[in-house]
Chains A and B, each alone.
Chain A
Amino acid sequence: METITSIRPLLAVLVSLLITPLLVVSGRKPNVREAWTFVAAVAKFLIVLSMLPAVLHGTEIVYTVVQFMPGAAIKFRVDALGMLFALVSSSLWIITSAYSIGYMRGLKEHGQTRYFCYFAICLSATIGAAFSANLLTLYLFYEILSLATYPLVTHHQDMEARSSGRKYLLYVVGASIGLVLPAMLICYDLAGTLEFSRHGILAGTAASRPMLFALLLMFVFGFAKAAIMPMHSWLPAAMVAPTPVSALLHAVAVVKVGVFSIVRILTGVFGIQLLSFFHFGTAVCYVAAFTILVGSFIALSQDGLKRRLAFSTISQLSYIVLGVALLSPKGMIGGMLHIAMHAFGKITLFFCAGAIFVATGRKNISEMVGIGRRMPVTMAAFFIASLSIIGVPPCGGFISKWYLALGALQAHQIGFLIVLLFSSFLNACYFIPITYTAFFCRPEEAMFENKVQEAPLFCVVPLVITAIISVILLFYPQPFFRLASMMVENITGM
């Protein structure tokens, strides 16, 4: 495995952080301020993209910022999995920034400068987490992300925001300080290092099976951003945030950092051999399967559109964990690929929810009867994105679910195959009716007079773009598929 040293990972992280003072200074001139956000977003995406050719060739890019102790440093390593995640989040930031403009201005929101500043900081932390070379760096960016998303979640500054903010902190920060921090230090004590390695660093250590299992559970539940039950309650509560926040952060960046961290723990800290030797993989699969099923059931019962999407996200995140925990190559490819497929699909769904809110002020599905007649573009995009999440062609989600199913077969786990298929069926049960009642209803049941139009252009264009990407990804899933396969080859091949 060739490695080259380059400062580009650090630059990718810093570019949005450095733009923040410029955002503050241009706060009085919204167009200038938004222009800076776009500059940062495009720059970040281009820097990430510039490292893609090297990664596809099998080279890893490293950069050490500062070394504290042997085995503990702030260090970046760009490998296939990190590149996959970074590409997804940086590309979606550009689109979300466009959407934010439409949304925030359409609703005449307050505190927009603060909003864009913290958004930039959050993306810095996300890319930092994606490129982390070791558990300490990952923990650092995970914490910064938790804290930087707080002002975004509590943007409205009312009583509901306050209590949701508390719940958010309790679960996310409480779990990371209470569970991940001690687990990380115990790992350091056992292994002498925290660097993610191909075989897992805990492989040769003198730890007993119960101790390792306890550590595994501490990590799986400690990374509460992955919303694995019972650490999931913060996600529906966080839906009080403005929709672009819910879209990018809670469908893409924040929750994906959670599952990404768990994937790193499974592959880089514990290692495939150790997990299969002790049958820990199966245990994690059970935990994930529980979340998948229960999340889908609860989603069925939700009337609030964003809440239904939140529970759907909780369920879909555990697909990623399940895929990797199956420990079979196809399952792992499916899980990692789902990071990308789910991101594009889910963000479209949230964009649609926000567009509906801007155009009509409605938040509940029962109030959205007949809206398809008035907002056909939005609802068409919603339909396509929901197909992707359900996992049927012609959308990209089909590929990841296909591989997950193959992975379950490869690991001889028919039970989990059934879980996957049943939960896809449940996904259909809670998504299709939304589109159906939006388009097909008797004229007298339609709840809207003629005057409701599509949401502003800045809202509609992004969601159309992400819906189209979801379709394109079925026919051309590169580079995500190649990156996922490379990563899996890397882990299992050696």
Chain B
Amino acid sequence: MSQDYPALLVIVPLLSAFIISAAGWVNKRLCFPLSVAALSVSAYSCIGLLLRVLNEGVVHYRLGGWPPPWGIAYYVDYLNGLVLCVVSVAALINLIATKKSIEQEFPEKTGPFYTLYVLFVTGMLGITVTGDAFNLYVLLEIGSITGYALLAMGDEDRAPLASLNYLYMGTIGACFYLLGVGYLYIVTGSLNMVDIAHILPGLYQSKAVTAAFIICMVGVWIKMAFFPLHAWLPNAYTFAPSAASSLIAPLMTKVMIYVMIRLILTVFTPAFAFTTLAVSHYIVWLACIAIVMGAILALAQHDLKKMLTYIIVAEVGYMVGGAWLGNRAGMTGAVLHIVNDALMTLCAFLVVCNIVYKVRGYAFADLKGLFAKMPFTMGAFVIGALSIIGVPPTCGFFSKWYLILGAIQAHHYDFMVALLFSSLINVVLFFRVFEIGFYEPFSDHEGHEHHSAVMAEAPLSMLIPLYIVTAGLILAGLYTGDIVNHIIRFVIPEGFI
């Protein structure tokens, strides 16, 4: 059974989606337990797989036993072993946390929602585990289309349009990626990533290969919302239902970052990406702009959810810049930030879920007096905010550590300044929210006669998963040394300075 973990983690959710859909017709209340079961099996398989990789090294798995390059091969090394765990566990925690929120926001559509949820997770896991470039496209589309549908189920006036916008841009991005894979196929005759990596080195001077790389990159950048290709993200995530945004926001962009790193490190190899192509300097520069613009645009927002989406745009800039710095510290920072940012974003969006559940709104004006009304939710929010700002011992500090160290070692002081600028702006952004929750509504006198608000906290089923994630933020920070030394160190090839 444990030999088949790579297949299980994709096939179980895929088949369960159909079962959930059918179950939804029979009895809506069956959908939740079935989804939890499916994602639990996935999460268990992912963790088991990571442990196998830690013990045995890289795992090659042939789907159906057919040999590559015609069969689909799954390839699991330290990088995607780690990302698989993060994706599956985050999806599972989110599923449990948002149960009440889903029941509140669309009681009659729970069946379709859970079906799409599980299918989306299938897509994300598939993208991460596959070793075949075209299979990646297939799973990417599965993930994207279900994503579009999930996001469109929100606010009736604005969500469908925002999702349509995302659909146009996302499809173009996926098509770019497909085009790039097509070029690679023409040049190498193979779709298997490892195979392509073996064949390519002799062909680095070929214009087709350069074109393939650039087109793949641009496609992936559109899907991860790298500034200025980010325009679809804020609206799509803001108007979406709370449960959908807390699923998609932590996962989609991080999985796309994984794809980018996979292309750089495994398929095209660093020798090509950094030496032959020689554009890394400019890409880091673009990342600086992404970080700064994300921060500035976040400052201009008047509601919590949109502010968080612009923070995601800035975080994507962190990871793209870190990966393209071209040194070990930068790449470590980028991979570590995939894990950390998924956790931080999940924490922040789960908080928004809780707030929307009780207050029915997410604008700043809705947040008044929230520290008194929802102290536990806001407590978790404070820790999530500290992680995004980068305060030790939360995990956000340590990925910033590696990124800044990488910037110093690569003499990319512009990237360092952008990171520090973004941290300072994050302080302003989050303390603005804290102020509204803490001070307002203002009391009449010097504050000595403070009417205490009645506590109206979210239910336990939403608080406990939130606190598990919050604890995860601090634990991931304290165990950074272990994560880096036992996992991420092996992700990066030896010769990388």
Interface residues of A (CB under 8 A from B): 66-69, 74, 107-111, 136, 139-140, 143-144, 147, 151, 154-159, 161-162, 165-166, 169, 173-174, 177-178, 181-182, 185-186, 188-189
Asked whether B448 lies within 8 Å of A169 as measured between CB atoms, the reply is no
Q: How far, in angstroms, from A74 to B392 measured CA to CA in the complex?
A: 10
Interface residues of B (CB under 8 A from A): 386, 389-393, 398, 401, 404-405, 408-409, 416, 420, 423-424, 427, 431, 435, 438-439, 442-443, 446-450, 452, 478-481, 484
> 12 A-B Cβ contacts within 8 A?
A69-B484, A110-B450, A143-B391, A147-B386, A147-B391, A154-B439, A158-B447, A159-B442, A177-B390, A178-B424, A185-B416, A188-B405
Residues of chain B lying within 8 A (CB to CB) of residue A109: 448
Q: How far, in angstroms, from A151 to B439 measured CA to CA in the complex?
A: 11
| Majority SS at the chain A contact face | helix
Contacting residue for B405 out of A107, A144, A185, CB 8 A: A185
Residues of chain B lying within 8 A (CB to CB) of residue A165: 435
Residues of chain B lying within 8 A (CB to CB) of residue A68: 398, 480-481, 484
Q: How far, in angstroms, from A166 to B401 measured CA to CA in the complex?
A: 26
Asked whether A177 lies within 8 Å of B478 as measured between CB atoms, the reply is no
Q: Which of A68, A69, A173 has the most CB of B within 10 A?
A: A68
Residues of chain A lying within 8 A (CB to CB) of residue B431: 166, 169
Given that A136-B392, A158-B442 are known contacts, is A177 also in contact with B420, CB under 8 Å in the complex? Answer: yes
Asked whether A181 lies within 8 Å of B391 as measured between CB atoms, the reply is no
Q: How far, in angstroms, from A162 to B446 measured CA to CA in the complex?
A: 12
Asked whether B443 lies within 8 Å of A158 as measured between CB atoms, the reply is yes
Q: How far, in angstroms, from A161 to B440 measured CA to CA in the complex?
A: 12
Asked whether B450 lies within 8 Å of A111 as measured between CB atoms, the reply is yes
Q: How far, in angstroms, from A185 to B480 measured CA to CA in the complex?
A: 17
Which 7 residue pairs spanning A and B have beta carbons closest together?
Answer: A156-B447, A140-B392, A68-B481, A110-B450, A157-B447, A158-B447, A143-B391
Asked whether B424 lies within 8 Å of A174 as measured between CB atoms, the reply is yes
Min C-beta distance of B376 to chain A, whole Å: 11
Q: How far, in angstroms, from A108 to B452 measured CA to CA in the complex?
A: 15
Asked whether A182 lies within 8 Å of B450 as measured between CB atoms, the reply is no
| Majority SS at the chain B contact face | helix
Q: How far, in angstroms, from A165 to B427 measured CA to CA in the complex?
A: 13
Asked whether B393 lies within 8 Å of A74 as measured between CB atoms, the reply is yes
Q: How far, in angstroms, from A165 to B439 measured CA to CA in the complex?
A: 11
Given that A66-B481, A69-B481, A188-B405 are known contacts, is A139 also in contact with B424, CB under 8 Å in the complex? Answer: no
Residues of chain A lying within 8 A (CB to CB) of residue B424: 174, 177-178
Given that A66-B478, A110-B448 are known contacts, is A154 also in contact with B393, CB under 8 Å in the complex? Answer: no
Contacting residue for B446 out of A136, A158, A178, CB 8 A: A158
Q: Which residue on B lies nearest to A137, using beta carbons?
A: B392
Residues of chain B lying within 8 A (CB to CB) of residue A161: 439, 447
Residues of chain A lying within 8 A (CB to CB) of residue B416: 182, 185
Residues of chain A lying within 8 A (CB to CB) of residue B447: 110, 155-158, 161
Q: How far, in angstroms, from A316 to B447 measured CA to CA in the complex?
A: 32
Min C-beta distance of B222 to chain A, whole Å: 32
Apart from A154-B438, A177-B427, A185-B401, what 9 extra A-B contacts exist at CB < 8 Å? A68-B484, A69-B481, A74-B478, A110-B448, A110-B452, A139-B392, A140-B392, A158-B443, A185-B404
Residues of chain A lying within 8 A (CB to CB) of residue B420: 177-178, 181-182
Contacting residue for B404 out of A154, A169, A181, CB 8 A: A181
Asked whether B478 lies within 8 Å of A162 as measured between CB atoms, the reply is no
Residues of chain B lying within 8 A (CB to CB) of residue A139: 392
Given that A156-B446, A185-B404 are known contacts, is A143 also in contact with B392, CB under 8 Å in the complex? Answer: yes
